[in-house]
């Protein structure tokens, strides 16, 4: 069944208020489209966790700090709807821009702390754009639960913080990263990789996996991170924006493995920016 595609807030509200009246729970899976198996795993989790599921597709201009990146972002609405067909979701919300940012829109949601450093340092304004759109989508859908991938770990932490701080009554559920067989984390940006770049792309995860094992085995964190970054470049990447160990609970930088940790990295490969993160056992 092809789910109804809703383009206005009025249509979305009409659907959700009928569900609420019937006592049904609602889950939202926010996306920017170009759906892949990672998104579909979120949809599967949402279906298991609520009576009704809304998938949102909106390429949010406010979270792109680079106009070229916004222009190149893949837009595949028709294919996305087809991919969702087997899941029988209840609505696909593809809002027109004015439904999100009407004329005169002047509000910015900014979350300090978890948004600082990592991607926050390299993409100015990105996380304000994410926090603003996600708070809008939470309010527009009034969902009980929202599903996000751990692939964007900093984003997941930021969304949790924002929902808590703004008293938005929603449960934010994080779902594990889905990977290709060679370890490459699924991402809509993988579509932008040339065939040649795709061959090099797994080098990021390979280096990170080895680094996580070495850190877990007690090796010096700074040495391991430096060597892992060099390994990524030797593996074909142009540069590494960051390779850092952070607390899995607070996202504070860690210089030694003193608790649950996450290794996070971003690196550029032939004009495509890839990010990844993995848990490090303490």
Q: Interface with ligand PAF by CB under 6 A: which residues? A: 30-32, 60, 63, 130, 133-134, 152, 155
Total residue length of the chain: 282
Q: Which is nearer to ligand PAF, 31 or 205 (CB)?
A: 31
Is residue 238 within 8 A of residue 249, CB to CB? The reply is no
Q: Which is nearer to ligand PAF, 30 or 225 (CB)?
A: 30
Dist. CA 102–CA 122, nearest whole Å? 28
Report how far apart, in Å, the C-alpha atoms of 166 and of each of 111, 120, 146, 244, 278 are.
Answer: 10, 21, 15, 29, 29
Min dist CB 126 to ligand PAF, Å, is 9
Question: Is 7 one of the annotated binding-site residues?
Answer: no
Q: Which is nearer to ligand PAF, 41 or 155 (CB)?
A: 155
Question: Is 32 one of the annotated binding-site residues?
Answer: yes
Quick one: CA torsion of 66, 68, 74, 78, rounded to 10 degrees?
Answer: 110
Catalytic residue ranges: 39
Q: Which is nearer to ligand PAF, 105 or 259 (CB)?
A: 105
Dist. CA 67–CA 90, nearest whole Å? 33
Min dist CB 32 to ligand PAF, Å, is 4
Min dist CB 3 to ligand PAF, Å, is 18
Min dist CB 187 to ligand PAF, Å, is 9
269 forms bridges with which residues in the sheet?
Answer: 272
Give the contacts of 67 (CB within 8 A, at least 6 positions apart). none
Place of tokens 């926090």: 131
**Residue 258 CB neighbour total at 10 angstroms:** 9
Min dist CB 55 to ligand PAF, Å, is 10
Is residue 166 within 8 A of residue 137, CB to CB? The reply is no
**Residue 14 CB neighbour total at 10 angstroms:** 11
Question: Is 269 one of the annotated binding-site residues?
Answer: no
Question: Is 2 one of the annotated binding-site residues?
Answer: no
Q: In angstroms, how far is the first alpha carbon of the chain from the final one?
A: 46
Dist. CA 268–CA 158, nearest whole Å? 23
Q: Which is nearer to ligand PAF, 133 or 184 (CB)?
A: 133
Question: Is 155 one of the annotated binding-site residues?
Answer: yes
Question: Is 41 one of the annotated binding-site residues?
Answer: no
* Residue list, annotated binding site: 32-39, 63, 149-152, 155, 178, 186-189
* Residue list, annotated binding site for (R)-pantoate: 63, 155
* Residue list, annotated binding site for beta-alanine: 63
């Amino acid at each position: 069944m092809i789910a109804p595609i809703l383009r206005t807030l009025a249509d979305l509200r009409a659907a959700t208020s009928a569900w609420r009246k019937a006592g049904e729970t609602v889950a939202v899976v926010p996306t920017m489209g170009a759906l892949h198996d990672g998104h579909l795993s979120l949809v599967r989790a949402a279906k298991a966790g609520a009576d009704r599921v809304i998938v949102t597709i909106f390429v949010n201009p406010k979270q792109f700090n680079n106009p070229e990146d916004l222009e190149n972002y893949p837009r595949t609405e028709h294919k996305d709807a087809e991919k969702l067909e087997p899941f029988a979701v209840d609505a696909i919300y593809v809002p027109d821009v004015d439904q999100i940012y009407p004329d005169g829109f002047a509000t910015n949601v900014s979350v300090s702390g978890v948004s600082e450093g990592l991607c926050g340092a390299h993409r100015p304004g990105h996380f304000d754009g994410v926090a603003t759109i996600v708070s809008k989508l939470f309010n527009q859908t009034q969902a009980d639960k929202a599903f996000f991938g751990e692939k964007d770990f900093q984003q997941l932490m930021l969304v949790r913080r924002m929902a808590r701080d703004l008293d938005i009554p929603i449960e934010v559920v994080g779902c594990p990263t889905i990977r290709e067989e060679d370890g490459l984390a699924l991402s809509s940006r993988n579509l932008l990789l040339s065939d040649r770049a795709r061959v090099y792309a797994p080098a990021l995860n390979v280096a990170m996996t080895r680094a996580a094992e070495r850190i877990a085995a007690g090796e010096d964190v700074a040495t391991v991170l430096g060597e892992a970054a060099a390994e990524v470049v030797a593996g074909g990447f142009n540069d590494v924006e960051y390779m850092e160990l952070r607390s899995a609970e607070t996202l504070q930088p860690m210089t030694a493995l003193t608790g649950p940790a996450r290794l996070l990295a971003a690196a550029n490969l032939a004009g495509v920016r890839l990010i990844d993160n993995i848990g490090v056992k303490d």
